[in-house]
Structure 1
Amino acid sequence: MTRLLQTVGFLTLAARSGALFAIFGPPVLSPAAPTSADVISMETRASGCYLFDGGPNDAVVTTAGTTITIVVPARVNAFCNFPTTTRSYVVGRFPPGVYTLKAFYLPHPLSGGGPPRLMGQRPVTVAPYGDASAVPIPSLTAFAAALLAALCAVVAAVEQGRRRSRLR
């Protein structure tokens, strides 16, 4: 009986000791300064007790007002022996505005399941695509435009003079 208690105690301590190395990195967005034409993706890192499941399109993305919620599937390991992994998930396109992105992970049913758990949140500012202030339109000054018009008039007059001389 003592041997059984020692074994159970050891396994319990071994399972809990790795919790110090359980990491979820904060969500990082790509591109860093998105426009309404960009597809936003979120990259996050996990290690120790957590491992992300699925591919880039396996996240569930919902919006409510200015809050964007993304839930990604994950596995939880009691022995905390998963390697460090980085995953990228597609969040989507959004109209111009200021949003709050909340990233959650959903434990796999074989890992104990449960409700989604918060990994992190961050503000997201989506700029309008083709903002006139962001891309200046090249234009001439009034003096340069007048000079160009005069040059065009001189070239047209010279060309017309050549045509008349050929007709004679």
Structure 2
Amino acid sequence: MFISFTKQQVLSLKEYSFVLSQLINFKWAQLLEKFNHSPRIASKVKGISDNTIKRSSLTKYKNILLKSNNYQAIDFYTGKVLQENDISVDHVIPWSFMYSDDIWNLVLTSKSNNSSKSNIIPSQDVIESLKERNARLVKLINDSKYKDELLLAIENDYVDKFYLAMKI
């Protein structure tokens, strides 16, 4: 079937072409999110989302993360004891990839480690350590919100899935 347009219809479409292309790209990105392990694709595609994603404070996770080491502040990456004024909560899989603050992806580290790490992709050893930490932490916490989040992440193998998606 062939559809023909009048010159006026074509000019009207051309007038709205930018908006239409943005809408089509946004809808396409939303569809991709259903079939892709990369989170929040639509929010990451420049120019198609007006949502400005802001990082929230991670200090609310500090006490729960301390629980995984019997309330000792141990640097996840180095194993060293952290001073109270040098504790930072870090995303193992960088926030710029996840755009999310999920307990299964958060660890304690020093402020200098956190800032120097930036958006570096972690090693496979770090990923394995994170999975082990999550298995320990889920047994220790009672807060149903975080426990459910951890169980879901473990059951669905989020750490490996997001790590592999990030490396692609």
TM-score band, normalised by the shorter chain? under 0.3
Structure whose residues are more often strand by fraction:
1
What TM-score comes out, normalization by structure 1 length? Answer: 0.25
What TM-score comes out, normalization by structure 2 length? Answer: 0.25
Which protein shows a greater Rg? 1
Structure whose residues are more often helix by fraction:
2
